[in-house]
Amino acid sequence: MILPQSNTLEISLKCECTGEELFLRYAWPCASDKLDSHKISFSDFSTLKILIEKGGIPKRALLAVCFQNAVKAYGVYYRKSDRAIPEWSFDSVADYWRHHHIHPDKPHKCDLIKGIVRKINGCIISVSVDEKMLPVKNIYNLPIQVGKTAYVHQHSVIEIMD
């Protein structure tokens, strides 16, 4: 399911993070594949892992090195947007990932999906998408509740919406 652009404001249950932190949260599930295919260095991967595990704001230059295509696509999106919100703000990054991040040349799992949380079993969450159930992981230990909307990237819950 590819998300259509939305004109409605959605409220994230955890939006204390910066745009750079949110970008990393969405991109992180791709980091292992990038490391395995030698697209990022072990040093950069380790830095990303520390930022994810302990918190911290990633430098944009690090994001650009590690997630070159996504950062480039975000820049193109932002330049074409109405720029009513600052570049790299939480809202701008969220809009890009929720409504504009797609990979037409890659498997479906790379596209962002939006679904409803139907069942919680530890860190495995069942999300309904187009009347199908999709098992996903709560890798960020988000406060998930049945009935809430979840944004999922690479089979990982990235955001929970109120």
Predicted local confidence at residue 7, as pLDDT: 32
C-alpha 29/C-alpha 143 separation (Å) is: 19
Q: How confident is the model at residue 75 (pLDDT cuts 50, 70, 90)?
A: very high
Question: What's the mean pLDDT when you consider all of the chain?
Answer: 85
Domain boundaries in the chain?
19-101, 109-161
Predicted local confidence at residue 105, as pLDDT: 56
Predicted local confidence at residue 103, as pLDDT: 61
C-alpha 57/C-alpha 91 separation (Å) is: 16
The mean-pLDDT minimum among 46-50, 97-101, 149-153 falls in: 97-101
Tell me if 134 sits within 8 A of 127, measured CB to CB: yes
- The CATH architecture one would assign to domain 109-161 is Roll (2.30)
CA distances from 157 to 17, 19, 41, 47, 114 (A): 16, 17, 25, 22, 10
- Mean of the pLDDT values across residues 60-78? 94
- Give yes or no for residue 64 having a pLDDT over 70: yes
Predicted local confidence at residue 15, as pLDDT: 53
- Biggest CA–CA distance in the chain, Å, is 42
Q: Give tens-digit pLDDT for 92-140.
A: 999 999 888 866 555 544 568 899 999 999 889 999 988 899 999 999 9
pTM tops 0.75, yes or no: yes
- Mean of the pLDDT values across residues 83-94? 89
